[in-house]
Structure 1
Amino acid sequence: MYPRFSSGSRRRGGHYLATFVSAVMLLAWWLPAAAQGIVVGQVSRVHDGDTLTIAQHDGELLVRLAAIDAPEAEQPFGSASRDSLVGCALGRTAVVEVLGSDRHGRTLGIVFAADQDCGLNQLRKGMAWFYRQYAHEQPSRRRIDYAAAERLARRQRTGLWADDAPLPPAAWRQQNPRFVAPAPR
């Protein structure tokens, strides 16, 4: 009355379970482990090469691009870095993978606009440093991509790497404290 299962059927059931477990593990690896949420909105303002404002239906959100450090506005390549981020994001719908907040209270995240990771784009164009000090805040696959993008830009002397000795923003801020403005709000 009930169908009999041959030993081959049991093996197939085990195969389905193994496939399901593998798919779940792959999905868990692919989804950002560190993400605290997703924000979607229109990029209404670009402050510098690593900070922008997202307009949402319920207000504005100040976002600092995770794991990059762009030159300050008054620093060499500061304007070029800002212009590069403007080209990637301004006026576009952005998806922000929120990773937390920085010490200035800005939302820290990975920003995607026009199907591009804007932080990775900044590194590829030589418009920012990979901020290794905070790399642990990123999913590991992004750390690898970001480090490789900076290495390639350095090797090709792209953007700020065309300079013989570009000064990282933190060092520049120490040497030029009068130019450093508080974080935009």
Structure 2
Amino acid sequence: MRWSKAGWVFVGVCIVLQLSGLDVFAWEGTVTRVLDGDSLRVKTRGRVETIRLFGIDCPEHGQAGWAEAKRRATVLMTGKEVSIVPVDVDRYGRTVAVVKRPGLVVNAELVRTGMAWVHPFYCKSEPFCQELEQLERSARQLRLGVWRDERPVPPWKWKQRHR
């Protein structure tokens, strides 16, 4: 998926609004299922939406760290009321979003605990992405989660090798 300049401007505006507490596009729901570390299902207004966490990438099924990332995401979200701040829709029709609970941004928490990489293709220079990058640097230094491995393979590269 290639993003236009207008798309990046929209993402930036949405993230600034989200970080400032003005979640004008946000909606609420209950997490019914965590599919993997960075994908989940949320029930809202009688329907279930599939959500992909914006800006991060967790280990893939079969990859080192996958089960741990899924467990962490499950504890953080399953059965919880969340706020979904949409950023985009991906090629699979999933809403790409920042997912929040009171006092917690799930995307950031997964990076902070070493359960996810910041995705360099989708998360660029926005303030939110810069915050995620700082959290990733800290997790790397502390050797948390995936960073316990000497040379962890990012999921986007792991998928290329295992197709």
Same-fold call, TM cutoff 0.5 = yes
Query: How big is the shift at 1:121?
Result: 0.4
**TM-score with structure 1 setting the length:** 0.74
Which of 142, 146, 150 does residue 128 from structure 2 map onto? Answer: 142
Residue from 51, 74, 84 that aligns with 1:96 = 84
How many residues align structurally? 147
Question: Who is 1:155 aligned against?
Answer: 141
Give the AA of the match of 1:62. Answer: T
Deviation at 1:170, TM superposition (A): 1.3
Map of 1:37 onto structure 2: 25
Tell me which of 72, 75, 83 is aligned to 1:84. 72
Alignment of 1:42-53 (within 5 A): 42-53=30-41
**In 2, Cα distance between the equivalents of 1:158 and 1:82?**
15
Deviation at 1:64, TM superposition (A): 0.2
Three-state SS of the structure 1 residue aligned to 2:114 is coil
Cα RMSD of the aligned pairs, angstroms, is: 2.1
Contact kept, 8 Å, 1:63 with 1:106, in 2: the verdict is yes
Give the 3-state SS of the residue equivalent to 1:37 in structure 2.
coil
Structure with greater proportional helix content: 1
Report the residue type matching 2:48 in the other structure.
E
Alpha-carbon offset, residue 74 of structure 1:
1.1
Bigger Rg, which one: 1
The percentage of counterpart residues that share the same residue type is 29
Equivalent position of 1:112 in the other structure: 100
Offset of residue 29 of structure 1: 9.2
Q: Which residue of 2 aligns with 1:24?
A: none
Matched, 1:131 2:80: no
User: Greater relative contact order (Cα 8 A, min sep 6): structure 1 or 2?
Assistant: 2
Runs of 4+ in structure 1 deviating by more than 4 angstroms, as ranges, are: none
> What SS class does the counterpart of residue 72 from structure 1 fall into?
coil
- Kindly indicate whether the alpha-carbon contact (under 8 Å) linking 1:36 and 1:98 is maintained by their aligned counterparts in 2: no
User: What TM-score results when the alignment is normalised by the length of structure 2?
Assistant: 0.84
